[in-house]
Amino acid sequence: MTRSSTTVVVPTVGRRTLRTLLEALAGGDGGPLGWPVVVVDDRPAGPELDVPTPGLDVTVLRSWGRGPAAARNVGWRHARTEWVSFLDDDVVPGPDWLSRLDEDLADAAADVAGVAGRVRVPLPPDRRPTDWERSTAGLERARWITADLSYRRSALAQVGGFDERFPRAFREDADLGLRVTRCGGRIVSGRREVLHPPRSSGFWASVTQQRGNADDFLMRGLHGRDWATLVGAPRGRRRRHVAVTASALAAGAAASARKRVPAAAAGMLWAAGTAELAVARIRPGPRTPGEVLRMVLTSLAIPAAATWHSLRGALRHRRATPWQGAPDLVLFDRDGTLVEDVPYNGDPELVRPVPGARRALDRLRRAGIRVGMVTNQSGVGTGRITPAQLASVQTKVSDTLGPFDVVQVCPHGPEDGCSCRKPRPGLVLAACEQVGVAPARTVVVGDIETDLLAARAAGAAALLVPTSQTRAPEVSRAHRRGLVAADLADAADRLLGGGW
């Protein structure tokens, strides 16, 4: 069976379950996996991850503790296949997962942007599941869960990938699904299946889990009050948690003011609300002393934790704007932007990178963003330099600054009337076509207004990085439109942060 249509992306924090997953991929029903695998190490620090890769084509990248959304973005941006298949590092693919995935992707119609696998959570057969196990079992009903979900790479690029403002594995997949479907793509269910065994949890895990309430308010800011209905999310207990917390605060305030009757009334409301929550969590679970004690103690803390994180999310995300993510392609002007401007340079020995150029380019490359160069070189057309001299300078630039995914050069003079010479859009359009990236997901970075005009004419975005040679009116006009970066490091910061 030929498998060349997808890249498997696995974000990880170094769990031991990663080995089980990779071994399953290496020895599936169709033989060793024929697709590339990208493991994204999202630990904030530590040595390089030791990943067992027998029989697998594995690339290990790092996202340095920025969360699963950012880790998945690093993974899919490095992919060059039509599809990207996401797996969590703690799932176990079924015995026929490989062949089923192949069938799922082969059967996808042209308007299908995503194909979801089925997630099964095995619960203990000999006892009632614990509160944490029941919570994990909810993944079986979750919509668009990226524990096992394949997206067309073009659909991910169109919407900018996962919203990195979601710092944990909660709601970021539902948000992506909403944005993809609103762009006209369908997400369908496939035939493959993975198991998602519940992990062991700490005593206070259910309290820590309340941080997700802040993410709910980001969803509300992005998708409106009815976002939960749109993604099929269950109705939560936020209003009850607020009422219980308010009762506790009122009881404390009344007690401080020595108002015994109001304090007692508010205290009774708090006790009743807390008891109701504890009973609701104890009733479907095992009645062991340890589980009951955990339910009681965590039920005391959950309402306040949920209310606090809800308030924090409401304040933080009250002006949430749509996510656009990093661009898929960044095209740099050469002279004055990446290297010092030497007019009509035909001597590679005169190539001098501007400060920070290599570091900025490498940051983009590590994030999986393609980088290219678009440059006017009229010295060839006017006879000031030869094509061979131009080629030698270009080689030196690439040797010094690292590989470029695409290079487009206009050798014509100003009077030749070509369509490629900036400020015309030809170079930008040709670069986008060569690497298969839409101009709308492309940014042109240059040092003069001509670069910005070429980007605009092509339908791309632009950033101006002024130098001492940039004319003041050009800088002023770009400033008014918010298109100016202080230097290449600042430009990289803006691009990686979605500010373009």
What token pair was written down for 414? Answer: 């100003």
362-408 tens-digit pLDDT: 999 999 999 999 999 999 999 999 999 999 999 999 999 999 999 99
Architecture per CATH, domain 6-201, reads as Alpha-Beta Complex (3.90)
pTM, full prediction: 0.92
Q: In the annotation, is 416 catalytic?
A: no
What pLDDT is attached to residue 120? 97
Q: Average pLDDT in the 325-342 region?
A: 97
Given this model, what pLDDT does residue 262 score?
Answer: 96
Q: What mean pLDDT, rounded, does the chain reach?
A: 95
CB 10 within 8 A of CB 38: yes
Average pLDDT on 410-435 reads 95
Q: Which of 333, 341, 451, 493 is catalytic?
A: 333
Q: Which residue has the tokens 């430009």?
A: 491
What is the C-alpha separation between 174 and 375, in angstroms, rounded?
A: 41
For the segment(s) 329-496, the CATH number from 3.30.420.590, 3.30.110.40, 3.40.50.1000, 3.40.50.720 is 3.40.50.1000
Q: What is the pLDDT of residue 50?
A: 87
User: Domain ranges in the chain?
Assistant: 6-201, 202-321, 329-496
Per-residue three-class SS string for 289-307: HHHHHHHHHHHHHHHHHHH
Closest to 157 in 3D by CA, of 6, 369, 299, 392: 369
User: Can you give the pLDDT at residue 29?
Assistant: 62
| Predicted local distance difference test score (pLDDT) of residue 386 | 97
pLDDT, tens digit (0-9, with 9 covering 90-100), for 126-139: 999 999 999 999 99
Question: Cα angle at 24 between 18 and 30, to 5 degrees?
Answer: 150
Q: Give the pLDDT mean for 7-21.
A: 94
Q: What is the pLDDT of residue 404?
A: 98
Long-range contacts of 222-226 (CB under 8 A, 24+ apart): 222/163, 222/175, 222/320, 222/322, 222/323, 223/175, 223/178
Contact between residue 14 and residue 65 where contact means Cβ atoms under 8 Å apart: no
| Residue carrying structure tokens 């919407």 | 159
**Stronger pLDDT, 42 or 33, i.e. the higher one:** 42
CB-based burial label for 309 (10 Å; 0-12, 13-18, 19+): buried
Sheet with 370-376, strands from edge to edge, namely: 406-410, 370-376, 329-332, 442-446, 461-464
Whole-number pLDDT of residue 1 = 44
235 falls in which pLDDT band (50, 70, 90)? confident
Q: Burial, 237: exposed, middle or buried (Cβ in 10 Å; 0-12, 13-18, 19+)?
A: middle
333 belongs to the catalytic site? yes
Q: pLDDT value at position 28?
A: 66
SS3 7: strand
Catalytic residue among 148, 163, 215, 335: 335
> pLDDT digits over 153-207, tens only?
999 999 999 999 999 988 999 999 999 999 999 999 999 999 999 988 899 999 9
The token pair at 94 is: 């079924």
